[in-house]
Amino acid sequence: MARYAFQLNGRAASVESWDPGQPLLYLLRNQLGLHGPKFGCGLAQCGACTVLIDGKTSRSCITPIRQAAGRTITTLEGLGTPEKPDTIQAAFIAEQAAQCGYCTNGMIMAAKALLAATPHPTEEQVKQGLAGNLCRCGTHTRILRSVLRAARV
Ligand code: FES
Ligand code: FES
């Protein structure tokens, strides 16, 4: 059993695994109890599992734990709290931008990376930035409004 250490949401963290190829998503959810990242497709196709690694979006369902070691990882839980939500989380709440909510983690994490790189994106840039994140409920219009709202704050 090997131990893999990294920075997680501003703190040192580590997990144990027999398999260096085990997906980061499984360890975040099962060993660290972080249920923001979701298992959707498991194939890097939907974005539900998105986390930030060194500030860049990463599909944790296909990120082997060996690649996460030593890196800085941010999950949805690292952005804000129910009492003090992050700007993007607050915008999603204000716009009621969820139906089932399964895609919300990925949408918010992708928006976080987008606004870090492009603080005042155009509508088209937001669409491009979130193009790899799927929402089966069809909440796209509200999600788009949320990100544009967050960019105005
Ligand atoms: S669960 Fe990772 S991209 Fe779908
Ligand atoms: S709100 Fe249900 S998948 Fe997006």
Residue 106 near residue 38, CB atoms below 8 Å: yes
How much is the pLDDT for 141? Answer: 97
- Tell me which residue of 139, 115, 146 sits closest to 129, measured CA to CA: 115
Rounded Cα distance between 147 and 129, Å, is 10
- Ligand nearest 44 Cα, by number? 1
- Ligand 2 contacts CB of residue 85 (under 6 A): no
Residue closest to 111 by CA, chosen among 145, 139, 73:
145
- What's the gap in Å between 37 CA and the centre of ligand 2? 14
Distance CA 153, CA 135 (A): 25
Q: Mind listing the pLDDT tens digit of every residue in the chain (153 residues)?
A: 999 999 999 999 999 999 999 999 999 999 999 999 999 999 999 999 999 999 999 999 999 999 999 999 999 999 999 999 999 999 999 999 999 999 999 999 999 999 999 999 999 999 999 999 999 999 999 999 999 999 999
Q: Is the CB of 103 under 6 A from ligand 2?
A: yes
Atom of ligand 1 nearest to the CA of 25: 2
Atom of ligand 1 nearest to the CA of 44: 3
Q: What distance in Å separates the CA atoms of residue 126 and residue 75, rounded to the nearest whole number?
A: 20
The amino acid that residue 42 corresponds to is G
Cβ–ligand 1 contact at 59 (below 6 Å): yes
* pLDDT value of position 96: 98
pLDDT of residue 83: 96
Q: 87-94 and 140-152 helices cross at what angle (nearest 10)?
A: 130
Cα–Cα distances in angstroms (integers) from residue 115 to residues 28, 30, 121, in the given order: 24, 30, 7
Question: Residue 101: what pLDDT?
Answer: 97
Rounded CA separation 20/17 (Å): 7
pTM exceeds 0.85 for this model:
yes
What local confidence, expressed as pLDDT, does residue 78 receive?
98
Alpha-carbon gap, residue 126 to 91, rounded angstroms: 14
Collect all residues with Cβ–Cβ distance below 8 Å to 122 and sequence separation of at least 6.
Answer: none
